[in-house]
């Protein structure tokens, strides 16, 4: 779907060669081991409220599109400062990012990424679920997000992997 085809002008599909990224700021967000566990996103998604009614998706996870995010670490650190001003006791710090190329996210037929710039962030992009989640005994089905979790990658802050991703991620 091109931007001209998008039913609303305030969001548009992200180019398939771009990357969706999300900062990891809290200890409970950072994955343990070398893979994300489905519970990592499941617990996060349960707390989300649905997007506005005019959006063509059921749930969204806020993030950014890498091609527009020229300030990944600085943006994360500003976010940490905002959070700590509101609650000085919270353990917020830039810990890393989860990310994936948009074309890979779209391989899962129920997920997509839309650019939705805000007044605070021109690189704002939502990873969205286009359908409702199925439930098993009143709980979100693990199978619904298992494939998404298996596709997402993560990298720690202050690492050579993050530096390489930010410098070369889109230029390979």
* Residues 5-16: tens digit of each pLDDT: 334 458 899 999
> With contact defined as beta carbons under 8 Å apart, do 97 and 154 qualify?
yes
Measure Cα distances from 95 to 56, 128, 135, 160 in Å.
32, 23, 32, 14
Q: What is the mean pLDDT of the chain?
A: 81
Q: Whole-prediction pTM value?
A: 0.83
List all residues 6 or more positions away from 83 whose beta carbon is below 8 Å from its beta carbon: 25, 90, 92
**Tell me: the pLDDT tens digits for 88-120?**
999 999 999 999 999 999 998 789 999 999 998
- Tens-place pLDDT, residues 133-147: 776 666 666 676 778
124: pLDDT strictly greater than 80: yes
pLDDT of residue 8: 41
Q: With contact defined as beta carbons under 8 Å apart, do 170 and 67 qualify?
A: yes
d(CA 110, CA 90) in angstroms, rounded, equals 34
Site of tokens 């617990």: 43
d(CA 121, CA 133): 28
Better-predicted residue by pLDDT, 131 or 19: 19
């Amino acid at each position: 779907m091109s931007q001209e085809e998008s039913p609303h002008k305030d969001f548009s599909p992200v180019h398939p060669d771009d990357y969706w990224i999300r900062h990891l700021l809290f200890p409970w967000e950072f994955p343990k081991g070398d893979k994300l566990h489905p519970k990592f996103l499941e617990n996060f998604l349960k707390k989300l409220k649905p997007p506005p009614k005019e959006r063509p998706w059921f749930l969204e996870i806020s993030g950014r599109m890498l091609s527009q995010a020229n300030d990944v670490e600085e943006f994360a650190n500003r976010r940490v400062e905002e959070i700590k001003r509101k609650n000085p006791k919270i353990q917020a710090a830039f810990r890393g990012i989860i990310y994936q190329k948009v074309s890979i996210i779209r391989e899962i037929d129920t997920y997509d990424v839309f650019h939705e710039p805000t007044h605070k962030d021109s690189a704002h992009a939502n990873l969205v679920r286009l359908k409702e989640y199925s439930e098993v005994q009143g709980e979100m089905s693990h199978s619904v997000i298992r494939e998404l979790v298996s596709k997402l990658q993560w990298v720690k802050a202050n690492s050579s992997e993050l530096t390489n991703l930010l410098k070369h991620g889109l230029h390979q």
